[in-house]
Structure 1
Amino acid sequence: MDISHCDPKGLIHESYRMEGIQASECRSIFLDWALSLPEGVETRDAIEMLIVHLGSKHPDHPMTQVLEEGSVEMRTPKRRGGWRSRPRN
C-alpha cells in the first residue's frame, strides 16, 4: 500500500506541518481522516503506515500521539455487552 492511499486528502500530512497544533485539533483531524478513508483501505494498516512514515520523524508531535492511541484502540478487543454478557442460570 502506498502512503497516498493512507492519507488521500493529505489531512495527516498537513497536520504535521501546522505550527502549535494541539492534541484536541489532531483528534478532530484524525476523525475526519478516518471517515474519509477509501473503501478497501484497512484503518489499522493505514495508521501503522502513517506512524512509520510520518510519526517516526516527529515522535513528539501531538498527531503522533493520536495515531498511536488509534493504533492501540484498533488492536484492543471490545467487551460485548447486553444479554450476551449476562450469566445464564
Structure 2
Amino acid sequence: MEIVEKNVKDGAREYKFDNGAWVKLDIDGEYGSWEYQEDEDDEETYMEGGIWFDGKQIEDYDGCFELPEEVVAALNELGYSLDD
C-alpha cells in the first residue's frame, strides 16, 4: 500500500492510495480529525473521528477501535507516530 496522490485543500491534507483508499487529515496543533474510505465510490466504508497529539506523538483517537492502516500511513508521512 502506497500513497499515490497528495493534495492540500482548505488546510486539510488528502491522500489517495494505490489500493483505492482515501484519507483526509485536518490537524490544528494538539487536535485533528481524520476521514477514511476504502474506495472513493464506496460510501458504506466511510469512517471519521478525532485524534489528539502531544508534539508528534499520537496520544489518543476516537471513531474506531483501531485506526485504518492508511490513516496511520498518512500520519507517518507527516512525521506523527503511534509508537513511544
What is the TM-score when the length of structure 1 is the normalising length? 0.30
What is the TM-score when the length of structure 2 is the normalising length? 0.31
Structure with the bigger RCO (C-alpha within 8 Å, sep 6+) is 1
Structure number with greater Rg is 1
